[in-house]
Amino acid sequence: MKFLSVNNTKLLTKIIFLFIAAFIILSCLIYFFPLSFVDLKISKEIQEHQNPTLDHFMTFISWFGTMPYSVITVGVVALMFLIFRYRKEALFTLLTLSAGVVSTVTKMLINRPRPAKDLVRIIEVTKQQSFPSGHTLFYTVFFGFLIIVMGKLKSVNYYLRIIVISFSAAMVLLIPFSRIYLGAHWFTDVLGGAMLGVLCLLILGYFYLPKKDVG
């Protein structure tokens, strides 16, 4: 069974180019219009539900994407794969760190400032530029890849796979809200991070999945 038929390969290529085009358009809009009504509105809507418990919860959600914990998390997971002789999975898990490079380069090119304290409530003080959200990009690639791996490795305990998939999916879904709630990003930042993350994940998944698993 072949990895991708000609038609499927064309479809994947179209999807990748679609994400690239959409990301470029979003980047241009942000470059010329750094602050939008939509961003302000969504930030206010998310931040209006504030309490200490939610502050701690949202901080925890973002913890895995903060340096040096993101590198440590990836390293530990890769080591676990290596210990159980999943060498390919260990290698590709390490490759998810490339999301950090993609994020840093894009941030420098767009150079969008972070949300200001006179516009939003800032719980997490950050240093790098705002667009795209590095956390959202990293979570989409890293936790998204774990979902792919757990879906493929049938030799791993079923309940463990369900736990990893559920936790990973929760991280991917919650991180955009966490970044906006903490005042670290605008909505369009996390949208851009998600788009770029999906693009990176598609490429990573293409090279990771064996030919017999897709066809």
Among 2-6, 110-114, 204-208, where is mean pLDDT lowest?
Answer: 2-6
With bands split at pLDDT 50, 70 and 90, how would you rate the model's confidence at 8?
low
Please work out, in degrees rounded to the nearest 5, the angle formed at the alpha carbon of residue 85 by the alpha carbons of 148 and 2.
45
Q: Is the pLDDT of residue 6 over 70?
A: no
Residue 172 is assigned to a structural domain of this protein: yes
Number of domains the chain is built from? 1
Residue 85 is assigned to a structural domain of this protein: yes
Gap between the Cα atoms of 205 and 203, Å rounded: 5
Over residues 14-21, the mean pLDDT reads: 90
Which pLDDT score is estimated for 211?
57
Residue 197 is assigned to a structural domain of this protein: yes
Residue 73 is assigned to a structural domain of this protein: yes
Residue 1 is assigned to a structural domain of this protein: no
Residue 169 is assigned to a structural domain of this protein: yes
- Percent of the residues in the chain that have a pLDDT greater than 70, as a whole number: 93
Over residues 24-46, the mean pLDDT reads: 92
Write out the residue range of the structural domain in which residue 200 sits: 6-213
Which pLDDT score is estimated for 212?
53
Gap between the Cα atoms of 170 and 196, Å rounded: 19
- Please provide the average confidence, as pLDDT, over all residues in the chain: 91
Whether residue 195 contacts residue 19, with contact meaning beta carbons closer than 8 Å, is answered with: yes
Residue 40 is assigned to a structural domain of this protein: yes
Whether residue 66 contacts residue 128, with contact meaning beta carbons closer than 8 Å, is answered with: no
Q: Is the pLDDT of residue 104 over 80?
A: yes
- Cis before 68 (ω within 30): yes
**pTM, full prediction:** 0.91
